[in-house]
Amino acid sequence: MDSELNELSAAAGAALAARGWLLATAESCTGGWIAATVTATSGSSAWFDRGFVTYSNAAKTDMLGVAATTLEAHGAVSEATVTEMAEGALIHSTADVAIAVSGVAGPGGGTPAKPVGMVCVAWARRGAATLVQTLQLAGDREAVRRQTVIQALRRLIELAGADIA
């Protein structure tokens, strides 16, 4: 794993541990890369609860409780879907905070409405409003996926470090 990911994971872990929070992940386009990044950090068992890799729509519904109507109306790559993924990760875990991602990593699969590089990310915390963001990332499949991990962890660090009681 590269040094930037190592540093982000360590910073996320420190911020979560300082709060006494556990993290869960719900990943589609990153295929577990966020969970792999954080579990590569020594001591992550103190602040990482579990990860869900829900690549198919059926997995999103079965494992996280994403409503079939949400998927039908908005698609897998949507703010509505990642919001339900993140909130479902909290429901199906002991975590205090969850990250969810779904996107079009490419090189195929893009449409005019949802081009390659479009990624939706949500951060949910028990007792707080879920935050969601749509990113448009450049590069090949690996670059889009890596940038997604970076952006997800950076925002997590901001949220865990902020006074959001």
pLDDT, tens digit, for every residue of 55-77? 999 999 999 999 999 999 999 99
Q: Judge contact between 18 and 164, C-beta under 8 A.
A: no
Which pLDDT tens digit goes with each residue over 14-68?
Answer: 999 999 999 999 999 999 999 999 999 999 999 999 999 999 999 999 999 999 9
**Residues 6 or more apart in contact with residue 126 via CB below 8 angstroms:** 90, 96, 97
Whether the predicted pLDDT of 150 surpasses 90: yes
Alpha-carbon distance values, 156 to 13, 22, 149 (Å): 10, 12, 11
pLDDT score of 165:
41
What count of other Cβ atoms lies within 10 Å of the Cβ of residue 150? 16
Sign of CA dihedral 9, 46, 120, 159: negative
pLDDT score of 161:
86
pTM of this prediction exceeds 0.85? yes
Phi (first) and psi of residue 141, to 5 degrees: -55, -50
Write down all domains in the chain, each with its CATH number in brackets.
3-161 (3.90.950.20)
